Amino acid sequence: MLLLFNSCKDENTDPKEFVFPSKVINKIVVDDAGVKWFATDKGVISYDGSKWTSYSDDKNLSSDKISDFAFEIGTGLNKLWLGSNVGLSNFDFGTSAIKFTNYNKANSQILSDTISAVGIDKSKVKYVGTSRGISIFKDGKWTQFVGRLYEEILSMYKITSIASASNGYIYATTEGGGVSRFKYAADAVSGATTFNLPWAGGLPSDTVYCVLTDNNNQWYGTKRGAALHTNEFAKENWDATYTRESGLICDSVYTIAKSSSGDIWFGTHKGISKLSGETWKNYTTKDGLVDNKINTIAFDTDGSVWIGTDKGISHFGNNKWVNF
């Protein structure tokens, strides 16, 4: 279904006067122009450095929980793909009349309308984590994948994040089933396996909240700490595990981000931990965070940090905190 709508539901240059649709921020992404995009429990908002904008369509997108989103960027293309509790949507942003397309069980072959994760690889293939498995969308065609044969963890456990590596592998994390690793090419899935305990001994827990791919390496955040894996095979090269004993402020790691300088930022249930080489620095509400439960971290084009929580947004730059 293609809908046209006015992109500006509400906009304001003063954040004190701008009405946020929800304080719960599930995902932050910064586009190439430096515009900040925020997925909330009640729709999408953006900030271009001076103006806040709230987006909605004729079916009140602003009332929908946006769990995750991802950019599809190309020549003449600026598209945002959003996963919500009512299906998959996309829109071309940067224009006054935005073209909005929705995919759901009623009009497509997507496995489920309940979406928890969205990923896009370098070939612009979309990987949509639903409550029944991953729906893969390429050139208007759908392929379904529920995990390694006889395990099918993607249909049994909530999919929490999806990321692609430089070598073509896709990593989908789950809440209880570990990690599903696979490749997709020629309209087919291959090389499927599962990273879980005790097979993948360096993974702290099978409850994995997030994955960050760094070339071919993977950083995992779990309910029992974080792990660095520098190989695509389940048993090899689990190089490091980080817990409270290592310096993490909390073992429940919900999001991981890497700065341009190489620092690793871990968003946890009790604040943020930054790892610079072998040095740890922790941040909480006592330092300036709006809330200690960290859902998402993103870096701006100037190197500053945007942080999404259950109680709003924090911005950290030039050693100063600003909360929205």
Q: Report if residue 85 sits inside a domain.
A: yes
Q: Note the pLDDT tens digit of each residue in 48-105.
A: 999 998 876 545 454 578 999 999 876 566 889 999 999 999 888 765 556 778 999 9
Q: Report if residue 171 sits inside a domain.
A: no
Q: Note the pLDDT tens digit of each residue in 132-168.
A: 999 999 999 999 999 998 899 999 999 999 999 999 9
Q: Report if residue 4 sits inside a domain.
A: yes
- Return the DSSP state at 175: B
Element housing 161 (H / E): strand 159-164
The domain total for the chain is 1
Q: Report if residue 56 sits inside a domain.
A: yes
- Distance linking the first and last C-alpha atoms of the chain: 34
Q: Note the pLDDT tens digit of each residue in 9-64.
A: 455 555 567 888 899 999 999 988 899 999 999 889 999 999 998 876 545 454 57
Q: What predicted TM-score, i.e. pTM, was given to this entire model?
A: 0.92
β-pairing verdict for 141-145 and 279-283: unpaired
CA 285/CA 311 separation, integer angstroms: 11
Q: Report if residue 16 sits inside a domain.
A: yes
- Owning domain of residue 46: 1-108
CA 154/CA 145 separation, integer angstroms: 8
| DSSP-assigned states of every residue in 180-222 | EEEEEETTEEEEEEEE-TTTSTT-S-SBEEEEEEETTEEEEEE
Q: Report if residue 24 sits inside a domain.
A: yes
Q: Whose CA is closest to 207, among 174, 183, 181, 241?
A: 174
Q: Where are the alpha helices (DSSP H) in the chain?
A: 153-156
Q: Report if residue 79 sits inside a domain.
A: yes
Q: Report if residue 294 sits inside a domain.
A: no
Query: pLDDT value at position 101?
Result: 87
